[in-house]
Amino acid sequence: MTGSEVPPSFRLAYVPGVTPAKWVRIWNERLPDVPLELLQVPPAEAPDVLREQGADAGLVRLPVDRTYFSAIPLYTETTVVVVPKDHLVTAVDEVTCEDLADDIVLHPLDDVFDWERPPGQPAFERPATTADAIELVAAGIGLLVVPQSLARLHHRRDLTYRPVTDAPTSSVALAWPENATTDRVEDFIGIVRGRTVNSTRGRPAAQPEKRTGQKTAKTGTQRKQTPRTGAKPGSRTRGGPTRRNKPRRRS
């Protein structure tokens, strides 16, 4: 490869909380000549990034527009409430939304849940981001309900979290424009689905052309057997075909 030749790359968008490291490592092992570029994007912006071809595929949060995107659900996260370490919630292993009814629960503008009604008491104003909301929890302003991966992403020593058993959940999926299912996208689909390096990546393998008169003994197909007696075909043999009577000549 000359210096002017740039190998094709694969661009993968991902939203905060998603950790693509395992899949990236497998990609680099299998396709070392194809760079994988990572692009972290806010959850609300991920669909537009894919529509505008800013990335080839994305690890996004559902739902997505299934009339435009293909999507493979990967996993669903546990929902947790982030609280100060001295909060009463820390005395139990899990809580319900009703348990948070008397607390101020922050609802950031980048919240990933489709709430019918957020739990708890609303704050005076909504924080701009989840990161801002975490700072407010640390300051004792309120609590925050998020997917567990976001609680881990914004971990602080003075905060902890507990599962919320009846809250909405967030699912992560691999998504890409349906009309842009390239070979590189198929490669990444195979990786996230755990296919081996020798798999067909979901594309049908080319079938070899059949040769006329090809022997079929190895395939298990039975060939027509010639009688073992050495008799010519048409003669009477034990278990063989019946001899055909020849017409007599007239004298």
Q: Output Rg (C-alpha) for the chain, integer angstroms.
A: 33
DSSP state of 95: B
Strands across the sheet with 36-40, in order?
36-40, 10-14, 57-61, 171-177, 69-76
pTM above 0.85, yes or no: no
The tens place of each residue's pLDDT in the chain, 251 residues long, gives 444 455 589 999 999 999 999 999 999 999 999 999 999 999 999 999 999 999 999 999 999 999 999 999 999 999 999 999 999 999 999 999 999 999 999 999 999 998 989 999 999 999 999 999 999 999 999 999 999 999 999 999 999 999 999 999 999 999 999 999 999 999 999 999 998 877 645 444 444 444 444 444 444 444 455 555 454 555 454 545 545 555 555 54
What is the residue-wise DSSP string for 99-168? GGTTSBEE--TT-----SS-SSBPPSS--SSHHHHHHHHHTTS-EEEEEHHHHHHT--TTEEEEEBTTS-
